[in-house]
Structure 1
Amino acid sequence: MAETADNKEILRGGQFLVKETACEDVFTPEDFNEEQKMMKETVKEFVDREIVPHRERFEHKDYALTEEVMRKAGELGLLGIAVPEEYDGLGMGFVSTMLVCDYISGATGSIATAFGAHTGIGTMPITLYGTEEQKKKYVPKLATGEWFGAYCLTEPGAGSDANSGKTKAELSSDEKTYKINGQKMWISNAGFCNVFIVFARIEDDKNITGFIVENDPTNGISLGEEEKKLGIHSSSTRQVFFNDTVVPVENMLSGRGEGFKIAMNALNVGRIKLAAACLDAQRRVIDMGVKYANERVQFKTPIAKFGAIKSKLAEMATNAYACESAAYRAAKNIEDRISIRISEGNTHQEAELKGVEEYAIECSILKVAASEDMQSCADEGIQIFGGMGFSADAPMEAAWRDARISRIYEGTNEINRMLAVGMLVKKAMKGHVDLLNPAMAVGEELTGIPSFDTPDYSEVLSEEKAIVAKLKKVFLMVAGSAIQKYGPDLESHQQLLMAASDILIEIYMAESTILRTEKNVKRFGEDTQKEQIAMAQLYLYHAVDTINLKAKEGIVSFAEGDEQRMMLMGLKRFTKYQNQPNVVALRNLIAEKITSENTYPF
């Protein structure tokens, strides 16, 4: 059952699929309070002063510059936004932590990576799983940038299968220390960190265990050379070797065998924060793209006037707007869930852990959507710059390379696609999301006589909302039939899961975009939101196409004969517009706004 916070209904994670959300109940970037607006401006000024002028240095592997910028961010308090005040942090809410991650990450992937690795997987595990003694000892130094953190999970033989690591932790005979031996790879911040969160296996335990390990070269810790990477050139990325590294027993994080749980929960936070890290990156690429398009003259005309370029700018902006809408919607849901749990007597640790875990489905959705939209944005940015875009002297080339890692970080997009559907099915089995009854209702609708009434779509975005409701039926139809057919074996049908996940992703992203726009139309007036309405309509148009394609792919993979024909007819009914949008006109309207203001203006 949905709960309430601040007089609005808060759906549980995944319930967006089976319940209607009122636009008044979503949080949007237009809802930032004065403190958040000031924080946003502070971060933007910091980036424009400390990062943007040094782009070339970041591309030439200036690891010392990354460390210097991180230390300055710590002095400003930007590394401790999510850390409680008693550990020298600012103790701000989840939306504010997303906002800082968003705006500090846009100018270069090197800082985005260093910031995310330190504040998220470097500091957060101690904040949320550490004992009081561990938190007092380590968190203040990490929150202020006096020390930096890194996270040692991945091994040569343990990537997506994180629990298969071979690193060992052996208890000493006097039971006072553990001796750690093993090899970790792709460790961000390794070159300048003071503390590692290390995952190792004790004896033949089923699950790994987490340890807080100080970086002391005299204690059997050695580093490989800096990795040569496609992008994020000034992000320190090294292998870390542990050779009889002695760790006090009191540095175990949480309990024995709890490491896999820590790793998974850290990844949930990391996924939504990674989505945030892709937001300002998109805005900045759009800004650079439109400025170049307005200045670049060919055939005696600025190329921004050409329809082909207008199309690119409009699509880039639409995707960025959608990602913003969905990311801050989910962030506020998490913040509200944390508040509800604290009011019920949970500790800060319990509330934050369970608050984020509740929306793990949305975190995976956002990670996939934002990382792929960022890659597409940078790719089109290069295209707008033409030959100059391919040159390392122009900023688009670095943006494209930096963006590529985002589809691999925090669990690959393939893993996250399958996780999103898998977690939804598990929630349904636990009774947290009722998929069965809505799926049965859709099944009955398919065999019933369709209505031939013509709905009234006179209100702005009313048809778009109706289409989103029908797209949810597509997911229930495909996923419901697939679960019925395969049961527990569904997880072995990865291509079907991937198709179902793409449907789920497009529903959440399109609905978030429409709800944000509807909310702003109601409070600011339709005339002020013409381009935003166009973006909501354009995003939905593409979502319908994607869902049509992926649902058809899924249906023909497991259904035959009359069942297949009935489902394909249902698909046609559920993806049908009453009034087809003029996509070219929508793009032109959006592009005119961007080119006239010479920036991403939304």
Structure 2
Amino acid sequence: MELQKGAFYLIEDIDPEKIFTAEDFSDEQRMIESMVADFTQNEIIPNLEEIDHQKEGLSRSLLAKAGELGLLSADVPEEYEGGEMGKISSAIITENISAGGSFSVSFSAHTGIGSLPIVLFGTEEQKKRYLPDLATGRKIAAYALTEPMAGSDALAAKTKAVLTEDGKYYVLNGEKIFITNASFADVFVVYAKIDGEKFTAFIVDRDTPGFSIGPEEKKLGIKGSSTCSLIFEDAKVPVENLLGEIGKGHVIAFNILNIGRYKLGLGSVGLSKSAISYATKYALERQQFGIPIAKFGMIQNKLAQMAAKTYASESLIYRLVGNIEEALHGKVDGREIGAAIEEYAVECSISKVHCSESLAYVTDEAVQIYGGYGYTQEFPAERMYRDARINRIFEGTNEVNRLIIPATLLRLGMKGQLPLLQAAQDLAGQLISLQVKTSSGGEVPLEVEFDMLNRAKKLFLLIGGTAAQKYMKKLAKEQEIIEIMANMCIEIYAMESALLRAKKALAKDAASAETKIELAMAYIYDAFPKLENWAKQAIAYMFESNEEVRTNLSIAKRLSKYQPINIIDIRQKIAKKVLEAGKYVV
């Protein structure tokens, strides 16, 4: 698979054969998928009520069972009792464990942000000491970054570390909040500033003197996951537990957050599929006015749009995981690994935002399909609705991730690593000869939609290029424009991923590609009109003279022109297939 550089999707086209899709899973990966689904169905779902009431020892015992099956060790090298399955297999596990409600949060915190800092940045001695126990579930990990006055602004942390006179310990003082797995974790990756200045990571054992754990937080959702504060009062951490380099904690934190973001996206996709499955089955069973509500057009429309959003999320997340898997191939050095992950920082933020917001839509519609019963704890929609809400806050709020996307693009552009500004400057010449396809005569499937995608990229270059030129270094203060730029980037990546997946399937087997094409089109024709509206808002704000506004609105109108299709018919076809299968289907 040819590797496309991070963020280059905005200025380059890509061959559909070069992207990874869920249809590319190997037989072994399909077996892993089935095993995780069985574990979730048989071990977790029957215990959801007791998990949500935090029955003592239950989550810990289930993590141990997952460890026995090798589900905790996908990202751990074999020499440390790991499975070393690769990022795609790890992604499959993350997606399919998500049906386990709160337990999936405990699971992901351990296998992802809890263990990966040691996997990727630990010394050989640290890996030998900790990873075998973490890979098997003999010990459980947690990740401690957030502080009372430093939420998404990680570098504003106040927790302080001071080296003792004998040079044997770092003494930590401070507090961390909202730490998942805190009540039962054995190993904590903690960030503190050495001498109040050098942001650094440490591995802290549970029995460290001066280290204590606060009470459980009472939460809206994910009630079964442990969430506590950590208190450090002259906590003595051995110097050999310093993780990575002094003053380089941000390298670990930001790269682990990037991984956490795409893994959160995977969990959101899995939970979206679960919600569709529950809502579909209920719609088939529930009768009103003498017929199942699944017969009603409005219910079918909901199911189709739930499926289309989930399809776009699934397409972009596995495209990203495939790129990361390829980028990490053969890399063992922490700096190389960090650079490879950072390459896709934009896409990691995109996946976090898109997948979590698609999940919010899907679970909300699931509650609506259940009607009054969806608001009761007797049915699963209520739990999924509450559990889904945290995903727009976890791993950096969606607002912060929207800030990250344009900021990263502009930084890459200024460094010459992404010729975004040059592409924006070249746009004027391209507009002269621009041809808008409104029909392919039915001979070339998706030709019109790919033309829409290419014009969407040009529309982004128009808005992004204008913003960069007008505001330059002051752009960071123009958050409304940044949000519009981020929204356009997110939708373009989602549309492209959905189209590329459908086209790749079409090249292999036209019959099996039918549903993917329908899902892609259902998504595209819902998303594409949003781009023009965002562009109009930005143009009206950025340009001062009426003439400039009119000129650029005319350009935006041309770039966003499209011929509406019979989207209702397409959604009806999707809904029919979803109802026949009783679940999300591609």
TM-score, normalised to structure 1, is 0.95
Q: 1:243 to 1:452 in 2, by over 3 A?
A: closer
1:373 aligns with 2:352: no
1:280 aligns with 2:270: yes
1:65 equivalent in structure 2: 58
1:524 equivalent in structure 2: 509
1:121 aligns with 2:105: no
1:104 equivalent in structure 2: 97
Q: CA RMSD, aligned part only?
A: 1.5
Q: 1:453 to 1:317 in 2, by over 3 A?
A: closer
Paired with 2:78 and 2:512, the residues of 1 have a C-alpha distance of 40
Equivalence map 1:201-280=2 (5 Å): 201-205=193-197, 207-216=198-207, 219-280=209-270
2:401 equivalent in structure 1: 416
CA contact (8 A) 2:540 2:549 kept: yes
Paired with 1:485 and 1:444, the residues of 2 have a C-alpha distance of 20
Q: Deviations over 1:219-260 (max 9, x none)?
A: 112211110000001100001111111111111111111112
- The match for 2:459 among 465, 470, 474 is 474
1:600 equivalent in structure 2: 584
Paired with 1:422 and 1:287, the residues of 2 have a C-alpha distance of 38
1:289 aligns with 2:279: yes
Shift of 1:353: 2.4
- The match for 2:8 among 15, 29, 35 is 15
Shift of 1:135: 0.7
CA contact (8 A) 1:163 1:260 kept: yes
1:332 equivalent in structure 2: 322
Equivalence map 1:168-179=2 (5 Å): 168-179=160-171
2:520 equivalent in structure 1: 536
Paired with 1:276 and 1:436, the residues of 2 have a C-alpha distance of 32
1:200 equivalent in structure 2: 192
Q: 1:177 to 1:585 in 2, by over 3 A?
A: same
1:308 aligns with 2:291: no
2:69 equivalent in structure 1: 76
CA contact (8 A) 1:40 1:99 kept: yes
Equivalence map 1:347-386=2 (5 Å): 347=332, 349-386=334-371
Name which of structure 1's ranges 436-445 and 178-187 shifts more when overlaid on structure 2.
436-445
Q: 1:530 to 1:449 in 2, by over 3 A?
A: closer
What SS does the aligned partner of 2:161 have?
Answer: strand
1:438 aligns with 2:431: no
- The match for 1:184 among 173, 176, 197 is 176
Q: Percent identity?
A: 42
Q: 1:295 to 1:465 in 2, by over 3 A?
A: same
AA aligned opposite 1:399: M
Q: 1:124 to 1:73 in 2, by over 3 A?
A: same
Paired with 1:52 and 1:452, the residues of 2 have a C-alpha distance of 51
What SS does the aligned partner of 2:99 have?
Answer: coil
Shift of 1:58: 2.5
Shift of 1:601: 2.2
Q: Deviations over 1:550-586 (max 9, x none)?
A: 1112111111322221221111111111x42111111
1:4 equivalent in structure 2: none
2:153 equivalent in structure 1: 161
Paired with 1:300 and 1:453, the residues of 2 have a C-alpha distance of 46
AA aligned opposite 1:238: C
Shift of 1:210: 0.7
CA contact (8 A) 1:59 1:398 kept: no
Aligned length: 584
Q: 1:441 to 1:245 in 2, by over 3 A?
A: same
1:588 equivalent in structure 2: 572
Name which of structure 1's ranges 110-119 and 52-61 shifts more when overlaid on structure 2.
52-61
Q: Deviations over 1:263-310 (max 9, x none)?
A: 111101100010011111111110000000001111111100100100
CA contact (8 A) 1:338 1:354 kept: no
1:144 equivalent in structure 2: 136
Q: 1:450 to 1:261 in 2, by over 3 A?
A: closer
Name which of structure 1's ranges 314-323 and 431-440 shifts more when overlaid on structure 2.
431-440
Q: 1:405 to 1:454 in 2, by over 3 A?
A: closer
- The match for 1:94 among 59, 76, 87 is 87
1:493 equivalent in structure 2: 478
Paired with 1:9 and 1:472, the residues of 2 have a C-alpha distance of 21
CA contact (8 A) 1:379 1:400 kept: yes
Unaligned runs of 5+ in 1: 1-7
Paired with 1:190 and 1:586, the residues of 2 have a C-alpha distance of 47
Q: Deviations over 1:398-425 (max 9, x none)?
A: 1000000000000000000110111111
1:54 aligns with 2:83: no
CA contact (8 A) 2:173 2:234 kept: yes
1:322 equivalent in structure 2: 312
Paired with 1:137 and 1:161, the residues of 2 have a C-alpha distance of 31
Unaligned runs of 5+ in 2: none
CA contact (8 A) 2:43 2:62 kept: yes
CA contact (8 A) 1:121 1:270 kept: yes
CA contact (8 A) 2:98 2:271 kept: yes
Shift of 1:59: 2.7
Paired with 2:216 and 2:440, the residues of 1 have a C-alpha distance of 62
CA contact (8 A) 1:167 1:180 kept: yes
What SS does the aligned partner of 1:184 have?
Answer: strand
Q: 1:431 to 1:59 in 2, by over 3 A?
A: same
